[in-house]
Amino acid sequence: MKLLLKVLVGAVAAACSISACSPFGVINSLAHSDDVIVSAGISYGSHEKQRLDIYRPVWMEGPLPTVLFFYGGSWKRGSREKYAFVGHTLARQGFVVVVSDYRLYPEVLFPAFVHDGALAIAWITENIVKYGGINKNIHLMGHSAGAHIAALLVLDDEYLGKFNLADDTLGRWVGLSGPYAFYPSKVHSVKDVFAGASDNRARPIARVGLGAPDALLIHGGQDTAVSPENSVALAERMNEIGNRAFALTYEGIGHGMTVASLTFPFTGLASTLKDAVFFLKTGKYPKVNVDLKDISK
């Protein structure tokens, strides 16, 4: 089965290469569903990058849990439109999904993009009810740089504290391939993004305190961009303090596939969708086959 999936994925990639199309365009086209209502380009702030899109299932009869997703891109690039597949996929699973833009380097430096994430959360608490979402226990999800933003939002009171939000504002959070334990000053490609900030202020693992929301930290074992040790180390630190966290490593999976596998045709390559949805809906960690995956509790 996995061989067939790899052939299909290869065919998609080849077709995209031949036609010079965007891989995001192909994925979003495959993920698009008429069962999902999209409200696009909503402002949560005054800057042009402070925009978000909301996805919700057409069949919803009452309020649904809300998920806020942050994309990756080394804090330098990315757009919410490219991650429409995340919104469509999770909305079909019974969530109201918010995919948010945020300001990027070189226009801003750390921690401006984390403050944007906090502003988006504050907007959600005041407005998501109009779109059928529940405005408390808001779940966060992010990939790569977006997972770093989500981690700081749940672990460091600096960002949400100024909004005087309710204690139950945040729910659970899922991190995909996040750089939680890296030292920004030692990474040449991104050190300018964090210029002027101490490493420990930018390291989620250094901001862990008691009372953090439960976390599921998913990583690819073949990730050469962000070591899977980041997820293992953060989970261990969170559990040491007295929180609940679970690091899950998919063997044979690289950096981008942890988010791509949320949707067809990649869902068979990694169980990100099944594992993340199960955790967000139940608060329970996925049961795994230890022969296929590494686990850290």
Q: How many CB atoms lie within 10 A of CB 227?
A: 15
Across-strand partners of 249? 219, 294
pLDDT tens, residue by residue, 229-255: 999 999 999 999 999 999 999 999 999
- Mean pLDDT score, 95-99: 98
Confidence of residue 33 (pLDDT cuts 50, 70, 90): confident
Q: What is the pLDDT of residue 18?
A: 37
Average pLDDT of the segment spanning 98-126: 98
pLDDT score for 4: 47
pLDDT for 74 beyond 80: yes
Q: pLDDT averaged over the chain?
A: 91
Written as one letter, the residue type at 180 is Y
> Token pair for residue 134?
């529940």
What DSSP letter does each residue of 148-207 carry, written as one string?
Answer: HHHHHHHH-HHHHGGGT--TTSEEEEEEES---S--GGG-TTTGGGGTTS-HHHH-GGGG
Rg for the chain, CA atoms, rounded: 18
Q: Classify residue 4 by burial, with Cβ atoms within 10 Å: 0-12, 13-18, 19+.
A: exposed
- Using CA atoms of 231, 175, 170, 115 in order, give the dihedral in degrees to the nearest 10: 100
- In tens, the pLDDT along 210-222 reads 999 999 999 999 9
CA 54 to chain centre: 15
Question: What integer pLDDT is reported at residue 19 of this predicted model?
Answer: 39
Q: What is the pLDDT of residues 248-269, one digit of tens each?
A: 999 999 999 999 999 999 999 9
pLDDT at 290 > cutoff 70: no
To which CATH superfamily is domain 33-296 assigned?
Answer: Alpha/Beta hydrolase fold, catalytic domain (3.40.50.1820)
Residue type, position 108, single letter: V
Kindly state the percentage of the chain with pLDDT values over 90. Answer: 84
Q: How far is CA 119 from CA 46, 113, 156, in A?
A: 11, 10, 14
Mean pLDDT calculated for residue range 68-73: 98
Consecutive H or E run containing 273: helix 272-282
Beta-sheet pairing, 66-70 with 245-250: unpaired
Pick the residue with more confidence: 13 or 123? Answer: 123
Residues 21-41 have a mean pLDDT of: 82
Cα dist. 261→13, 151, 201, 220, 280 in Å?
Answer: 14, 21, 31, 11, 17
Strand partners of residue 219? 249
Angle between helices 23-31 and 2-19 (to 10 degrees): 120
| Helix (H) or strand (E) run with residue 142 in it | strand 138-143
Say what percent of the chain tops pLDDT 70. Answer: 89
| Range with lowest mean pLDDT among 112-116, 159-163, 292-296 | 292-296
Q: What local confidence, expressed as pLDDT, does residue 6 receive?
A: 52
- C-alpha 3: how far from chain center: 28
pLDDT of residue 28: 84
Please give the pLDDT value at position 291: 42
